[in-house]
């Protein structure tokens, strides 16, 4: 079903599609088939019964909202984001803008503890909430990546997960806060369209909509917000490692006119020296190699000058 667009660009259309919601309490063989199908067809899916403790989620949300409710001058003490720390409006260093405030963390515990000294009046409490949340969600990410490997019939089922458990993993954790835009009758772009460069993203938001995905040009699919679920999406690195079988889909976040929206995202990334290349099982005479091998450091260096919506993986296509 396609309806007239309520979003900022009147030339766009909103397609109403139900994303797959996968119950992780189902038999593992069933879950693996469902996740692989979702990664191939949508690049996005939701998971319930995920095992992340409610306490870890509520503590992280409480600490985050406390920070974002501070005055502008208080929040600025935790910035500017370079790249970690507090940022507002400016997304990265290439001129991208959005109606968003954010905190960005490296996932190393020592780095988190140091960063929290400028974020909270009780840095130990905030640091503990961040570290515990990351640990629980990373465990879920590893489980999903191993289930994916099983579903792809890859003999080494830890081929993806060990990249994010490596002590040199370049994973990052981001808290996005979108203040209400009651002065405007329509939504605004909170975070512009882009793909996630890492392997896998696990995102949770409060009970306020705004996330949209674009499975095809000019069409946007709203993702129903469910605080009990995690939204999971394929990143560029996983698309390359599956030789294009999985799709890293463009997505964006819109603001809400009357309610604030907050999301918490773990971007599961590999070590800088890790080579991203298609698994042998993914390359066949019928499906030849799509992307040249590259290290994660090379990918970041080549794409760092690009704008948010620029295509990144195309720089590494074989033809």
pTM (2 d.p.): 0.93
Query: pLDDT tens-digit profile of 68-125?
Result: 999 999 999 998 998 999 999 988 778 889 999 999 999 999 999 999 999 999 999 9
Active site residue 317: no
- Rounded to the nearest 10°, the torsion over CA 68, 70, 76, 79 is -40
Tokens of 113: 């503890």
Per-residue confidence (pLDDT) for residue 15, from 0 to 100: 64
pLDDT of residue 257: 80
Q: Which of 174, 250, 261, 317 is catalytic?
A: 261
Confidence (pLDDT) at 77: 93
**pLDDT at res. 183:** 64
Domain 16-316 matching CATH 1.20.810.10: the answer reads no
pLDDT at 176: 97
Q: Which sequence spans correspond to the domains of the chain?
A: 16-316
Q: Which two tokens stand for residue 238?
A: 């996983």
Residue 93 is predicted with a pLDDT of 79
* Below-70 pLDDT ranges, the chain: 1-16, 182-185
DSSP string covering 178-223, please? E---TTSSS--EEEEEE---SSEEEEEE-S---EEEEEETTEEEEP
């Amino acid at each position: 079903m396609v309806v007239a667009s309520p979003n900022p660009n009147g030339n766009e259309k909103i397609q109403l599609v139900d994303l797959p919601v996968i119950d992780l309490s189902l038999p593992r063989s069933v879950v693996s088939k469902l996740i692989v199908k979702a990664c191939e067809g949508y690049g996005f899916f939701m998971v319930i019964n995920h095992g992340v403790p409610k306490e870890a989620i509520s503590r992280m949300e409480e600490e985050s909202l406390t920070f974002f409710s501070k005055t502008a001058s208080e929040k600025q003490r935790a910035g500017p984001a370079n790249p970690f720390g507090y940022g507002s409006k400016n997304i990265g260093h290439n001129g991208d803008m959005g109606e968003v405030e954010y905190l960005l963390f490296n996932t190393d515990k020592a780095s988190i503890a140091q960063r929290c000294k400028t974020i909270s009046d009780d840095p130990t409490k905030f640091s503990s909430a961040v570290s515990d949340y990351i640990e629980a969600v990373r465990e879920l990410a590893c489980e999903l990546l191993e289930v994916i490997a099983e579903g792809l019939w890859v003999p080494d089922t830890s081929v993806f997960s060990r990249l994010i458990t490596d002590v040199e993993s370049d994973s990052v954790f981001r808290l996005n806060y979108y203040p209400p835009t009651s002065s405007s009758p329509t939504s605004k772009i909170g975070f512009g369209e882009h793909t996630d460069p890492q392997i896998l993203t696990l995102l949770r938001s409060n009970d306020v909509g705004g996330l949209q995905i674009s499975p095809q040009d000019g069409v946007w699919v709203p993702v129903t917000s469910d605080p009990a679920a995690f939204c999971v999406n394929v990143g560029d690195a996983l698309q390359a490692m599956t030789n294009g079988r999985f799709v890293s889909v463009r997505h964006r976040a819109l603001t809400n006119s009357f309610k604030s929206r907050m999301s918490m995202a773990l971007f599961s990334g590999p070590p800088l020296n890790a080579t991203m290349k298609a698994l042998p099982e993914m390359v066949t005479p019928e499906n030849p190699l799509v992307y040249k091998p590259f290290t994660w450091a090379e990918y970041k260096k080549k794409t760092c000058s690009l704008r948010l919506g620029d295509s990144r993986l195309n720089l590494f296509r074989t033809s």
